Amino acid sequence: MERQISFVVPTLIWTGGAEIAMGRLARELVKNDYRVRILSFGRSSKSNPWWSQFRDLDSIVEESPDFNSWIANLNFLRLKLTRDKGQIIHSWLYRANLLSSLVKPKTMPLVWSIRHSLDDLSNESIKTKLGLWGSKVLSRRVDYILFNSQRSLKQHEGFGIKSKKDLFIPNGFELKNPSTKRESGSSSFTIGHLGRFHPVKAQMEFIEALGDLRQHDFQVLMGGRNITPSNGELMKLIQEAGLVNRITLVGELQDPTEFFSSLDLFCLNSHSEGFPNVVGEAMALGLPCVVTDVGDAAYLVGDSDLVVPPRDTASLARAIEKMILMPAAQRLELGQKARKRIEEEFSIERMVEAHRDLYEKLLG
């Protein structure tokens, strides 16, 4: 029997860890003779530059004509999922999970992917809270729920979201050639931060921590959706911290490889994360990372000296200062250790193998 997988995602217009992981997995499955298609609720991927890394998958993408209409999306999914028999539905993120559960044929296996942690539930949006409650009601219909974060799995089970079988499959990362910048010690010390402009990504606390370190020589690169000079709120934070000549805003990135290769240190100081792709991407390039203890960030870096409590600006500043003052050779050693951890524990090959084992079990 032909092995068929239908991935269901809310949209392909935004850059995110789920979409990137799904694209990488789809590509590898196609190479291994799976028939894969990606069903999206509209808003064409072709309008988003980041999807260019997956242009080879364009032929398997099918998009609903109306992103905002739940009825239109339900009808779109019902038509697509009942047309073929003997396949697996693998949905990604709350919205796609819920709609897939409502229309799936009874005999068709359903796998959910949940890639969100509940570290800061009180500050979640109304949409996310509705997604959680809907997931609690419908999760018993699901054959497997895949979590890319161990902490997220425990949090969701505590919330009452539990399928017939829950599994932890961490993200996988491609190893690329590390930058020579850190080996040569060239240019000034450069710190990076990457994430959409949102309170949960804590750009305000990051900038505040850097403001306390102005006596040191460093530069900063910040990227992500709405991380641009046209963001008046962000520019005000930078001005108040006295860092106008230190921070460069580069916006949303199609491929962060060049961004990471320009850094000596990457920081993730979010209030909430699942399994942060940006940290894994940085580590895969041999970059040391300072992270807050949210989601599986601490588990990913595997070094408690690089982990600070969330919402603790003073601890974040101390950790960054420690890295600034550290001899370059010692920082290089930390980066090499980070890259080796990705190679041994979080390779893309391991991620794909775990998914293939699950699909083969469901296909029987």
The pLDDT of residue 38: 92
The pLDDT of residue 69: 83
The pLDDT of residue 243: 97
Q: How far apart are the first and last CA of the chain?
A: 10
The pLDDT of residue 153: 95
Mean pLDDT of 117-142: 89
Question: Which residues 6+ apart lie within 8 Å of 152 measured at CB?
Answer: 114, 115, 116, 117, 118, 274, 275, 295, 296
Does residue 161 sit in the same domain as residue 16? yes
Does residue 159 sit in the same domain as residue 264? no
Work out the angle at residue 358's Cα, subtended by the Cα atoms of residues 340 and 95, and round it to the nearest 5 degrees: 95
114 dihedral zone (left: phi>0; alpha: psi -120 to 50; beta): beta
Asked if the model's pLDDT at residue 219 lies above 60, the reply is: yes
Asked if the model's pLDDT at residue 150 lies above 60, the reply is: yes
160 dihedral zone (left: phi>0; alpha: psi -120 to 50; beta): left
184 dihedral zone (left: phi>0; alpha: psi -120 to 50; beta): alpha
DSSP E strand boundaries for the chain? 4-9, 35-40, 61-63, 88-92, 110-114, 144-147, 166-168, 189-194, 218-223, 247-251, 265-268, 289-292, 307-308
Does residue 266 sit in the same domain as residue 303? yes
Total of domains in the chain:
2
Q: Is residue 328 classed as helix, strand or coil in its secondary structure?
A: helix
Does residue 150 sit in the same domain as residue 267? no
Does residue 224 sit in the same domain as residue 286? yes
CA distance 364 to 348: 24
Q: Which of 139, 133, 145 is nearest to 102 (CA)?
A: 139
In this structure, of 183-187, 300-304, 306-310, 359-363, the range with the lowest mean pLDDT score is: 183-187
Give the chain's mean pLDDT.
Answer: 90
Domain that holds residue 136: 4-172+347-363
Does residue 160 sit in the same domain as residue 227? no
Model pLDDT for residues 66-124, shown as the tens digit of each residue: 777 888 889 999 988 887 666 899 999 999 999 999 998 888 999 999 998 888 888 78
The pLDDT of residue 290: 98
Does residue 91 sit in the same domain as residue 136? yes
The pLDDT of residue 46: 61
Confidence tier at 220 by pLDDT (50, 70, 90): very high
Query: Can you give the pTM of this predicted structure?
Result: 0.86
In this structure, of 227-231, 299-303, 310-314, the range with the lowest mean pLDDT score is: 299-303
Mean pLDDT of 144-173: 93
Does residue 270 sit in the same domain as residue 297? yes
Q: Is residue 4 classed as helix, strand or coil in its secondary structure?
A: strand
The pLDDT of residue 155: 93
CATH (domain of 88) = 3.40.50.2000
The pLDDT of residue 291: 98
The pLDDT of residue 84: 67
Does residue 17 sit in the same domain as residue 112? yes
Q: What are phi and psi of 132, to 5 degrees?
A: -65, -45
Model pLDDT for residues 13-49, shown as the tens digit of each residue: 766 788 888 988 999 999 988 999 999 986 666 666 6
Does residue 30 sit in the same domain as residue 160? yes
Does residue 245 sit in the same domain as residue 154? no
Does residue 92 sit in the same domain as residue 223? no
